[in-house]
Structure 1
Amino acid sequence: MAEQTTSTASQWGRIGAHLKWANTADRTAATAPARAALDQKFLDQADGDPDRAAHLRKAHFQRLALKSAASRRAKAAARRGEAA
């Protein structure tokens, strides 16, 4: 039952996201505050040094890429019936 509830909630969330973006004329402007906040986070971590902030940002996204690849491999192994 919990899985069904989670699945249903996820579907409703996707519907809401699609409606939001369908009614958003300027997507770039809508996501600008989030992008600015992320840039500021890296700048704060780098004590205001933009070069260090750029490297912190690249490292962050590289970590995300590694996690994504590991997740895809695990899902593919699960589909094949292999142990992760």
Structure 2
Amino acid sequence: MSLTPEQRRLRAEIAAHGLWANCDDRTAHTACARDAFEKRFADEVDPDRTLAPEERARRIEHARKAYFKRLALASSKARTAKSAARRGGEAV
């Protein structure tokens, strides 16, 4: 039996609430994911780890900001397209 998208979403929410209800330290629970996310940017700006730590940190911060700005731009474009589609017109 396949689940509808709504049922899959509800199942995921139930699992998430169950996880957090039994988790003593949310920060520790997500530490590995945060470390991997940070490493992604370090690998992007200094793959050979040759930069000074301060310079690497500065570049990582800018790479992270650029990443989130790209997400925000994509989200904005998607909302504009969805709004235009509702109005029956083309996105700008």
Normalising to structure 1: TM-score of the pair?
0.74
Give the Cα–Cα distance (whole angstroms) in 1 for the partners of residues 25 and 19 of structure 2: 11
Higher mean C-alpha displacement, 67-76 vs 39-48: 67-76
Taking the TM superposition and a 5 Å limit, the aligned residue runs for 1:12-31 are 12-31=11-30
> Which structure is larger by alpha-carbon Rg, 1 or 2?
2
Runs ≥4 residues deviating over 6 A: none
- Aligned-residue offset at 1:51: 2.0
Does 1 or 2 have the higher relative contact order (CA < 8 Å, sep 6+)?
2
Q: Give aligned pairs, total.
A: 81
Unaligned 5+ residue runs, structure 2? 50-55
- Aligned-residue offset at 1:66: 2.0
Unaligned 5+ residue runs, structure 1? none
Say if 2:76 is the partner of 1:69.
yes
- Aligned-residue offset at 1:11: 1.0
CA RMSD of aligned residues (A): 2.2
Identity of aligned residues (%): 46
Say if 2:52 is the partner of 1:45.
no
- Number of the residue aligned with 1:10: 9
More helix by share: 1
Show CA shifts across 1:5-52 (max 9, x none). 222111111111111111111111111111111111100111132222
Normalising to structure 2: TM-score of the pair?
0.69
